[in-house]
Amino acid sequence: MKYTASEKEILSLVTMYNGISRKQLAELSDLSQASITKITKKLIDDDLIMEGERISSGLGRKEVLLYSNPHKFTFLGIDIGGYLVRFALSNNSMEVLHQEEFFMDELDESHNKDEALLERLNQFLKRTNTISSNIDAIGIGVTGLVDIEQNMILNIPNRKGWDEIPIIDIFKKTFSCPIFLDEGGRTMAIAEKTLGKAKEIRDFIVVQIGFGIVSGIMINDQLLRGSSNVSSLLGHITADENAGRCLCGNYGCLENIITFPMLEIEYKKRNGLYSSIGEAYKHNDKIAIEVCVDTGKALGIALSNVVNLFNPNAIYIGGPIFDVLPMLLEETKRTIILRANRFATLALSLEENSFGQQQGIMGALTFAKINFISQL
């Protein structure tokens, strides 16, 4: 069944604000109350959305809240990071039903990465008793460069052997549903926009750091792609040309300074005595704190440049590195405020992202649903 642009808009809004009244839908969509009544009736008749509890809207009137019908669709998200791969299945309310992860290096020996990934995916589906034909859409987010027209992973800078992988073509042998592919920072931005803190924010940046750096930039409610779909490559901007060679081939990339492995190397280089920087940080080790201050400054300088260029309303920062080393985040924020133009920071909010370590997989799942709705 084909749906109109207005019907899809209402479906998207119910996905975003799961539990929303018709009055709020009218306000957010600029559609008339009469149109909203008609559209929601059709969407309820088609089992796409459903009515929930009544809430008081003041003046004694009660409003019925509308929700996505959780059982209508099932989505599969695949988050391919430089370090971990995550699979997750969600219902139509974006609740994760099953999730698994494994290390990327488990696929190092495989000659055909896409087929090896598919094999792991099939095992996951088998363990969760999921039939591939019951999946309605698949979203794949990759920490690397993708060609979304040719449905191909072009390169994962942190991993060898992931060049020109026609991942969708291989997956189509098993799945008949739509499969969507994009860069992981962009899918993370979609999750923040749809389900997270950025629902009403039009200009924002998501930054996720663990074993690599991923970022997504949304300007005027549009994902920034650039002319060759390469934009937002924050991890590979040059931060210190005298620093070592990056796996991407360039010298002194931001990823050469601030990722888990790089912080460990820096900590050891400064003669840190604990087994890891995380362990040292727990004991208030001076060297660990100095490394956090110096690297937080490097990230803060890079992001202050981004703030001056794009003047976002918010930067949502997250990832395991900040959970282990919270001071890194404080130093990053401090440097952004200090270095970026004061008129650009007036309305700038620096916050942790909504899903922490789940940002990537929530990105892949949300990306699947949003694209799926647009094709209904």
Residue ranges that bind Zn ion, judged by CB under 5 A: 236, 246, 248, 250, 253
Look at the alpha carbons of 96, 100, 101, 106 in this order and tell me if their dihedral is positive or negative: negative
The distance of closest approach from Cβ of residue 244 to Zn ion in the complex, given in angstroms and rounded to an integer, is 10
* 3-class secondary structure, 48: coil
The distance of closest approach from Cβ of residue 144 to Zn ion in the complex, given in angstroms and rounded to an integer, is 12
Do residues 18 and 10 make contact, with C-beta atoms less than 8 angstroms apart? no
Do residues 271 and 291 make contact, with C-beta atoms less than 8 angstroms apart? no
CB nearer to Zn ion: pick between 251 and 274:
251
Amino acid sitting at position 197: K
CB nearer to Zn ion: pick between 157 and 319:
157
Q: At 63, give phi and psi (nearest 5°).
A: -110, 140
CB nearer to Zn ion: pick between 146 and 248:
248
Q: 203: closest CA among 184, 185, 188, 216?
A: 216
The distance of closest approach from Cβ of residue 316 to Zn ion in the complex, given in angstroms and rounded to an integer, is 23
* Non-local CB neighbours of 145 within 8 Å, separated by 6+ positions: 153, 154, 155, 156, 157, 183, 229, 230
The distance of closest approach from Cβ of residue 159 to Zn ion in the complex, given in angstroms and rounded to an integer, is 13
The distance of closest approach from Cβ of residue 145 to Zn ion in the complex, given in angstroms and rounded to an integer, is 12
What distance in Å separates the CA atoms of residue 262 and residue 264, rounded to the nearest whole number? Answer: 5
Give residue 176's Cα distance to chain centre: 25
The distance of closest approach from Cβ of residue 254 to Zn ion in the complex, given in angstroms and rounded to an integer, is 8
CB nearer to Zn ion: pick between 250 and 305:
250
Q: At 66, give phi and psi (nearest 5°).
A: -110, 140
CB nearer to Zn ion: pick between 246 and 314:
246
CB nearer to Zn ion: pick between 236 and 297:
236
